[in-house]
Amino acid sequence: MPDKTALILVADGTEEIELYDLFVRAGIKPTSAFVGATSFITAEFATCSRGLRVVPDVNFHEIEDNARLSYDVLVIPGGMEGAKTLSQNIIVQDLVRAYIGKNKIVGMICAGTLTALTSGLPRQPLTSHPSVREQLEKSFDYSEDQVVVSGSLVTSRGPGSSFDFALQIIALLLGDGKRSEVAGPLMYH
């Protein structure tokens, strides 16, 4: 099976726990891309929501348009400050629509689900952190489930559901066997 890849967007204020550990454990190659508050801001690191500094692999605006679409999955984490930056970026919005249009997996977790709204995705089931529910429930079929899969869109509630979120994406990309293989050693239900 060819290697699977994930493009994971990060910004200042991104929630650390919602990043890419389980993808690495599953053999999915993650690439983290820093998205600045304005289009051409670059950074040596992103300061996440709890102060952890994450060194991104690349600055988002430096990735060529066609290369942005070459990944198997696009992940938009939460953390309110980071989610606002990601959801308000027009290039991120275009990328979300392109992935969905090609039936490629887009994962949004916590407040990162705001990007479904700003990208103008059609009404469908989703979930999010309760803090952004009110903004989403008028345009989507809102659910309290930990993880919601709607076509190629995978959404989840927040830091506490990050394992369920990542394991669902792993199952979609690599099958239920790989999901079980990754979950077992974690001592995860």
Q: Is-catalytic flag, 129?
A: yes
SS (H, E, C) 126-183: ECCCHHHHHHHCCCCEECCCCEEEECCEEEECCHHHHHHHHHHHHHHHHCHHHHHHHH
Burial 108-144 (b: 16+ CB within 10 A, else e): bbbbbbbbbbbbebeeeebbbbeebeebbeeebebbe
Q: Is-catalytic flag, 61?
A: no
Q: Annotated catalytic residue: which of 16, 18, 48, 81?
A: 18
Q: Annotated catalytic residue: which of 15, 48, 81, 110?
A: 110
Q: Which backbone phi and psi does 59 adopt, to 5 degrees?
A: -90, 130
Q: Annotated catalytic residue: which of 129, 137, 144, 189?
A: 129
The alpha carbon of residue 70 and the mean position of all alpha carbons in its chain are separated, in whole angstroms, by 16
The alpha carbon of residue 145 and the mean position of all alpha carbons in its chain are separated, in whole angstroms, by 17
* CA 189 – CA 109 distance, rounded (Å): 20
Closest CA to 174 of 24, 19, 6, 26: 26
Closest CA to 77 of 135, 6, 137, 158: 158
Which residues does the annotation mark as catalytic?
18, 110, 129
